[in-house]
Amino acid sequence: MAAGKKQEKPKGPPSIENKKARHNYEILETIEAGIALLGTEVKSLRAGQASMGDAYAVPRNGEMYLVNLHIQPYQNAGAFNHEETRSRRLLLKKSEIQKYTARIQEKRLTMVPLKLYFNQKGIVKVLLGLGRGKKLADHRETEKKTQAKREIERALRDANR
């Protein structure tokens, strides 16, 4: 490799992140799950056409579903397109579904999607976070911590100059 040239990252489908989730929820645990999608939904995801702003996972009839995940219609699908905000089944083991269903119901926790991405094999995966909703005081506390961290980093950077 010639000196001065940067190594390029392989270009693949983009990952879609839920930036609001870590702000609105205190994430206690994360889990990776598969998601049952239609072909037009996968093509839209490859184009980066999705939004997870209000999405959450809910247990129904012994299965987990992702609700309010917005995947835009695929442009070239014509009449065979998908519904934008339909409930999508999450592919988890039965023991995991039972475990998280119990935790959601007993401890009043919420399961929110943090990231939607394609793995090495090209399969769509969703990173779910089991979290507790933050209150206003929690938001303020988090903001104070991040502000203090920034000031420390700034002071260290200035001291090293």
60 is written with which tokens?
């129904």
User: Are 91 and 32 spatial neighbours (Cβ–Cβ below 8 Å)?
Assistant: no
pTM for the model: 0.75
83 or 69: whose pLDDT is higher?
A: 69
CATH homologous superfamily for the domain 16-134: Small protein B (2.40.280.10)
pLDDT in the model for residue 15: 82
Domain ranges (residues) in the chain? 16-134
Residue 79 has pLDDT above 90, yes or no: no
Could you give the dihedral angle defined by the CA atoms of residues 113, 118, 120 and 122, in that order, rounded to the nearest 10 degrees? 140
The mean pLDDT value of the chain amounts to 84
User: What is the per-residue pLDDT for 112?
Assistant: 92
Q: Give 35-74 pLDDT, tens digit per residue.
A: 988 888 888 888 888 888 888 899 999 899 999 988 888 8
Distance CA 87, CA 69 (A): 8
Query: Does 28 score more than 80 pLDDT?
Result: yes
How far, in Å, CA of 31 to CA of 149, rounded?
28
Q: How sure is the predictor about 16, in pLDDT bands with cuts at 50, 70 and 90?
A: confident
- End-to-end Cα distance, the chain: 32
The half-sphere exposure of 22 on its side-chain side, counting CA atoms within 13 A, is 10
Phi/psi for 100 (5° steps) reads -75, -30
